[in-house]
Amino acid sequence: MSLKYEIIKTVGKSRRGKLYTKHGVVNTPAFMPVGTCATVKAMMPESVAATGAEILLGNTYHLMLRPGADLVEKMGGLHKFMHWDKPILTDSGGFQVMSLTGLRKLTEEGVTFSSHVDGKKFFLSPEESIKIQHKLDSNITMCMDECVKLPAPYEKVKKSVEMSMRWAKRSKDAFVDRDGYGIFGIQQGGDYEDLRAYSAEKLKEIGFDGYAIGGLAVGEGQETMFKVLDYAPQMLPADKPRYLMGVGRPDDIVGAVLRGVDMFDCVMPTRSGRTAQAFTRYGTVNIRNARHREDPRPLEEGCDCPLCRNFSRAYIHHLQKCNEILGVMLLTWHNIRYYQRLMQGLRTAIETDTLQEFAAKFYADQAKGDIEEL
């Protein structure tokens, strides 16, 4: 138990907290940009920090394949390797093994799979995953679990969550406790309330530095996700951070913060930066659309990112039409900055007890749509 978490304000179910790690403080609610292969795609690490991001997520699956955990360890750990001296959370690799690889064999012991890069065989178990995350020098290690795609029958989810809880225990046992480092358990149970309760109880018995809500944003839709979030976070310890894995769109995040979630990660802002989609106060904008061709306005009035400060929509449209890397760089930066502005807004709203007003304005603005599309 070596990560201190301090809750400085609670409004309804929502919390404003501070998570203390060896590499600095994370203010929650927090959004973690994804740095899959030891880089947040198309961003200099200084630029990621400039967006306000205080913690990154690294993918154990990708890093164990390339460049390999031993090499990262030899280079002084992931922080030094990728020149990011703030906190890092790593996932267990389990989810990517299940979704990205072929020829996998799942047993109680772990998963045997073939690398999507070169077909080479690997074995990943809870113990092995924790060991890899240790070598990466991750501040927040995640338990290895199994994640079931929804909808799924009760018996299937039950069998899976039971194994995941045995894996949670094995993960915790394999974790080497150090000051400023911690391990999070992951609640599973799909959209079955009793299985979520069972999972929460098992995790609390084991004891973790934080608790993730897993198995959502896997095809169930926002309505089902919010239904689960109406009860799932409250089953987890009130004094520890709650992390909703792989979520999500801006409106998912606002809804989840209202339901008591503290941490998020998602590839949405970075991936969208590579497909010409921008997030703004007034909803998403596809910058490839011909209506931007001669538009001298910034993408989002009032945004302080380099794209909005220095360039017109016409210019970004031009870069995208020409497939210029700078277009990807600027849109990625804007999108991450948008997410961080959203989190800053949520944190301030909790601090000042204006969260309901903030959320109402957020949904109203999003509903307006981009100005020219009115």
Please report, as residue ranges, which positions from 252 to 311 form the binding site for a second copy (by CB under 8 A). 293-294, 296, 306, 310-311
Selecting among 145, 252, 265, 370, the annotated active-site residue is 265
**Least distance in angstroms from the C-beta of 269 to a second copy:** 15
Site for a second copy in 308-337 (CB under 8 A): 310-312, 314-315, 317-319, 321-322, 324-326, 328-330
Q: How far is the CB of 37 from a second copy (least distance, A)?
A: 5
Angle at 147 between CA 145 and CA 149, to 5 degrees: 175
What per-residue string of b and e applies to 114-137 under the rule 16 or more CB within 10 Å gives b?
Answer: ebeeeeeebebbbbbbbbbbbbbb
Q: Does the annotation count 265 as an active-site position? A: yes
From 74, 149, 166, 297, residue interacting with a second copy (rule: CB under 8 A): 74
Question: Which whole-number Å values give the CA distances from 215 to 30, 199, 224, in the listed order?
Answer: 19, 12, 12
Q: Catalytic residue among 91, 137, 191, 370, which?
A: 91
Query: Look-up: residue for tokens 């709650």?
Result: 242
**Gap between the Cα atoms of 324 and 12, Å rounded:** 46
* Alpha-carbon span 167 to 161, nearest angstrom: 10
Q: How many residues form the binding site for a second copy (CB under 8 A)?
A: 37
- Answer yes or no: 91 catalytic: yes
Nearer to a second copy, 53 or 212 (CB): 53
- Identity of the residue, 48 or 268, whose beta carbon is nearer to a second copy in the bound complex: 48
Span 196-235, contacts to a second copy by CB under 8 A: none
* Contact flag: residue 42 with a second copy (CB under 8 A): yes
CB of 318 to a second copy, least distance (A): 4
Site string (156-195) toward a second copy, x via CB under 8 A: ----------------------------------------
Q: Which is nearer to a second copy, 177 or 372 (CB)?
A: 372
Q: Is the dihedral of CA 116, 221, 58, 342 positive or negative?
A: positive
* Pick from 85, 79, 78, 33: nearest CA to 332: 33
Strands 277-280 and 283-286: antiparallel
CA 355 vs CA 55, 255, 346, 348, 351: distances in Å: 23, 11, 7, 8, 9
- CB of 55 closer than 8 Å to CB of 89: yes
Q: Give yes or no for residue 81 binding a second copy (CB under 8 A).
A: yes
- Smallest gap, in angstroms, from Cβ of residue 360 to a second copy? 36
- Please give the structure tokens belonging to residue 28: 């929650």
Q: Which residues lie near a second copy (CB under 8 A)?
A: 37-39, 41-46, 66-67, 71, 74-75, 81-83, 293-294, 296, 306, 310-312, 314-315, 317-319, 321-322, 324-326, 328-330
What are the catalytic residues? 91, 265
